[in-house]
Structure 1
């Protein structure tokens, strides 16, 4: 995961998981086990906060802001893992002529 990014709603950045992996590894692995078993309450994990970031100093119009959604790091870990696993099969699963949806 990229470092120096905005932390999610729990205010725990990706750096925490990278630097403290030896401490939280068993909890993360248990989270993945529950996810793959289908017993993880994904709705609680998939909670995000949408916020507006100013594009320019002194922004006062909506066009001068860009929205971002802050997600929890464990959710990002699961989606990143799934993305990397599916990546090698994407050419077989998705037609080359498909460019949306």
Structure 2
């Protein structure tokens, strides 16, 4: 994960997790493993905020904004693992 990534809903960037992995790593791993075992995401981990940053000083229409999604780090990990696993089987489950 990019250490300079935007802060998530939990208020932490990738750099926090990189520097404090020895403290938080086991909890992160447990949470992600628990999701894959139970199929249940802890309440709040699937929450996201969409923030619109203006491209121009006086932006007035929607196409003049960049949408940025702020989500929880643990949700990002779980969704990345799911996407990687699904990518391996897409050719087998989607016909031409």
TM class by shorter-chain length? 0.7 to 0.9
Q: State whether residues 32 and 74 of structure 2, in contact with CA within 8 Å, keep that contact through their aligned partners in structure 1.
A: no
Q: TM-score, normalised by structure 2?
A: 0.80
Return the alpha-carbon distance in structure 2 between the equivalents of residues 77 and 69 of structure 1: 15
Higher mean alpha-carbon deviation, 61-70 vs 37-46, is at: 37-46
In the alignment, does 2:90 pair up with 1:86?
no
Unpaired segments ≥5 residues, structure 1: none
In the alignment, does 2:25 pair up with 1:22?
no
Q: State whether residues 31 and 40 of structure 1, in contact with CA within 8 Å, keep that contact through their aligned partners in structure 2.
A: no
Unpaired segments ≥5 residues, structure 2: none
The answer for the alignment partner of 1:36 in structure 2 is: 36
Return the alpha-carbon distance in structure 1 between the equivalents of residues 92 and 42 of structure 2: 28
For the aligned residue pairs, the C-alpha RMSD in angstroms reads: 1.9
In the alignment, does 2:59 pair up with 1:60?
yes
Distance 1:87 1:23, change over 3 A: same
Return the alpha-carbon distance in structure 1 between the equivalents of residues 65 and 19 of structure 2: 33
